């Protein structure tokens, strides 16, 4: 793998004195969907009791970050009102924060939801809109000091898979993300609090997804931590004779291993325990390839 390189050690400073060490193996972000319609049914936890149980399982399995969201962004999904997102996520976020001191990410493109989540104890914003869907998100990131994950998406979740087209998908995704990062930096967001996500499956065809994963080192070379979310996505099923998300654990782990070998800083997954094991072993092998190992 030409772009294999250990991730450099760095600390991601979080609010309230917390921090997240990046480097070595990818940090594992566990998905907690407080929605009735996310694409992978076992990840849905629309009821508070179910959500609390799901959160505890992800934490017990070793999640480095818990990513809580109240709006599905699967292909064809429609926006969820910010007040409804708050109704779904805030009680669960507050309950998790009472019992766990680890990093919590709020998965939203709404500045209102992000602000309320920050006030309730969230540490990171995971914005699939990269600050474009709600212009107030940039000001919130600057004001709060919350690290923000900027994701590439062609279109919106409702329209993104209608006819995604690119010339050079790797260059276009990289250039978009660097432009968005620069815009946030101009608005006062510190560079070390920006992470980039190529948006696998968000306005991409199979060949686009594969090219972005294969060339993930091109995005890492820009100097920002990279987040990769591939877990159980449908394009993997198309590589395996149409298997549904429930049958895509091994495929997801294959990409997690690739990401670990390439030095990706964070992976967003449904299967924390298995991914963590794969990441630890693969990162150790990759580190052993370094000249001074």
Catalytic option among 74, 174, 233, 289: 233
User: Tens of pLDDT along 72-114?
Assistant: 776 666 788 999 999 999 999 999 999 999 999 999 999 999 9
**Catalytic annotation present for 273:** no
* Rounded Cα gap, residues 37 and 43, in angstroms: 10
Domains of the chain: 25-286 (3.20.20.20)
User: Tens of pLDDT along 220-261?
Assistant: 999 999 999 999 999 999 999 999 999 999 999 999 999 999
Q: Which two tokens stand for residue 173?
A: 């995704």
* Rounded Cα gap, residues 61 and 162, in angstroms: 37
Query: What pLDDT, on a 0 to 100 scale, did the predictor assign at position 164?
Result: 81
Query: What pLDDT, on a 0 to 100 scale, did the predictor assign at position 73?
Result: 75
Q: Which two tokens stand for residue 206?
A: 């199979």
Query: What pLDDT, on a 0 to 100 scale, did the predictor assign at position 2?
Result: 43
Distances (CA, A) of 127 to 27, 130, 134, 141, 146: 18, 5, 10, 11, 12
Low-confidence ranges of the chain (pLDDT < 70): 1-8, 37-47, 74-77, 156-162, 292-293
Query: What pLDDT, on a 0 to 100 scale, did the predictor assign at position 163?
Result: 77
Rounded to 10°, the helix 111-119/136-144 angle is 20
Q: Which residues of 277-292 are buried (b: 16+ CB within 10 A; e: fewer)?
A: ebbeebbeebbeeeee
Catalytic option among 88, 174, 211, 268: 268
Query: What pLDDT, on a 0 to 100 scale, did the predictor assign at position 1?
Result: 47
How many other CB atoms are found less than 10 A from the CB of residue 75?
18
Distances (CA, A) of 135 to 112, 130, 158, 180: 11, 10, 19, 12
* Rounded Cα gap, residues 289 and 138, in angstroms: 40
């Amino acid at each position: 793998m030409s772009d294999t390189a250990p991730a450099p050690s760095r600390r991601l400073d979080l609010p309230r004195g917390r921090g997240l060490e990046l480097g070595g193996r990818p940090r594992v972000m566990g998905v907690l969907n407080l929605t009735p319609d996310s694409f992978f049914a076992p990840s849905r936890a629309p009821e508070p009791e179910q959500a609390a149980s799901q959160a505890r399982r992800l934490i017990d399995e070793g999640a480095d970050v818990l990513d809580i969201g109240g709006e599905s962004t699967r292909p064809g999904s429609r926006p969820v009102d910010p007040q409804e997102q708050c109704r779904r996520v805030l009680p669960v976020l507050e309950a998790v924060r009472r019992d766990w001191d680890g990093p919590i990410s709020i998965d939203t493109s709404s500045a209102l939801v992000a602000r309320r989540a920050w006030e309730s104890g969230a540490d990171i914003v995971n914005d699939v809109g990269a600050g474009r869907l709600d212009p107030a998100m940039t000001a919130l990131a600057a004001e709060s000091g919350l690290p923000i994950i900027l994701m590439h998406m062609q279109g919106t979740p409702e329209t993104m898979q209608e006819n995604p087209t690119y010339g050079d998908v790797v260059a276009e995704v990289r250039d978009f993300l660097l432009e968005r990062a620069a815009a946030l930096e101009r608005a006062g967001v510190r560079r070390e609090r920006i992470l980039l996500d190529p948006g696998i499956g968000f306005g991409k065809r199979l060949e686009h997804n594969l090219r972005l994963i294969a060339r993930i080192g091109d995005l890492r070379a820009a100097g920002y931590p990279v987040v990769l979310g591939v877990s159980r996505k449908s394009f993997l099923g198309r590589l395996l004779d149409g298997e549904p998300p429930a049958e895509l654990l091994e495929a997801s782990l294959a990409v997690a291993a690739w990401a670990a070998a390439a030095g990706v800083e964070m992976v967003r997954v449904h299967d924390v325990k298995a991914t963590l094991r794969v990441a630890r072993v693969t990162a150790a092998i990759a580190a052993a390839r370094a000249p001074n190992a």
